[in-house]
Amino acid sequence: MINNRKNKKLLITDVQPLRTKEDIANVKKFLSKGHFGERDLMIFMVGINTGLRCSDIVQLKVGTVLHDKTPYIYEQKTGKKRQVNLNNIAKELNLYIRHQDFTSPDDYLFPSRKHNVSQHITVNGFYKVIRRVEFQMGRHDLGTHTMRKTFGYHFYKKTNSIAMVMQVLNHSNPSITKRYIGISDEEVNNQLSDFVL
């Protein structure tokens, strides 16, 4: 019998960040289609702009982000308190909230298709959405971790600071972060491309 834990880790390492703006735009385009396109797109926007895990994104409530675009949350996986900066997507987030049928600050920001605002979409539910997009795009490297890895990859490219990325992603050492966002292989290949003896 296959060890599920080992199998899960294998899947996460196969998932890659979206390295180009074009790839990000294409995923956004495919996500925005369909009855729940606005919700699915906003989950993706929060993910690629904050580095939050999907399990933390789906748990967000309207009241957490409505008036405070730098709220504190407790991460599901680590239990650690983390401040999330949503200022960069505040306009899109406010527009999304206005278009929904929310009645209370306790409503889930990303409701389940079946249970409306009383339950949130599950990580597995969003995984299925991403897999559908992956199929439509003819790719084989997308998953829920694509959002977090995309954030880490582009934040590193902008800051050139693996320490800052490591801090935001809550990793314990730089080698984990580099491997997670796919920087190590890329850096080595870039250096080797013009290495001649």
CA distance 174 to 133: 31
pLDDT of residue 57: 98
Residues whose CB is less than 8 angstroms from the CB of residue 12 and which lie 6 or more positions away in sequence, other chains included: 143, 145
Identified catalytic residue from 39, 120, 149, 171: 171
Is 156 within 8 Å of 50 (Cβ atoms)?
no
Exposed e or buried b for every residue in 70-102, given b needs 16+ CB within 10 A? Answer: ebebebeeeeeebebebeebeeebeebeeebeb
53 is catalytic: yes
154 is catalytic: no
pLDDT of residue 65: 97
pLDDT in tens, the chain (197 residues): 444 444 444 355 589 999 999 999 999 999 999 789 999 999 999 999 999 999 999 999 999 999 999 999 999 998 999 999 999 999 999 999 999 989 999 999 999 987 666 799 999 999 999 999 999 999 999 999 999 999 999 999 999 899 999 999 989 899 999 989 988 666 667 777 777 78
Helix axes 145-159, 174-181, angle to 10 degrees: 110
145 is catalytic: yes
Identified catalytic residue from 145, 149, 154, 178: 145
148 is catalytic: yes
180 is catalytic: yes
pLDDT of residue 182: 87
pLDDT of residue 132: 95
Tokens (6 digits) for 138:
């003819």
Tokens (6 digits) for 92:
């899109």
17-142 under CATH 3.40.47.10, yes or no: no
pLDDT of residue 114: 77
pLDDT of residue 1: 41
Tokens (6 digits) for 171:
């990793």
Domain boundaries, given as residue ranges, for the chain: 17-142, 150-191
Identified catalytic residue from 39, 53, 154, 178: 53
Residue 110: which of 72, 71, 35, 58 has the closest Cα? 58
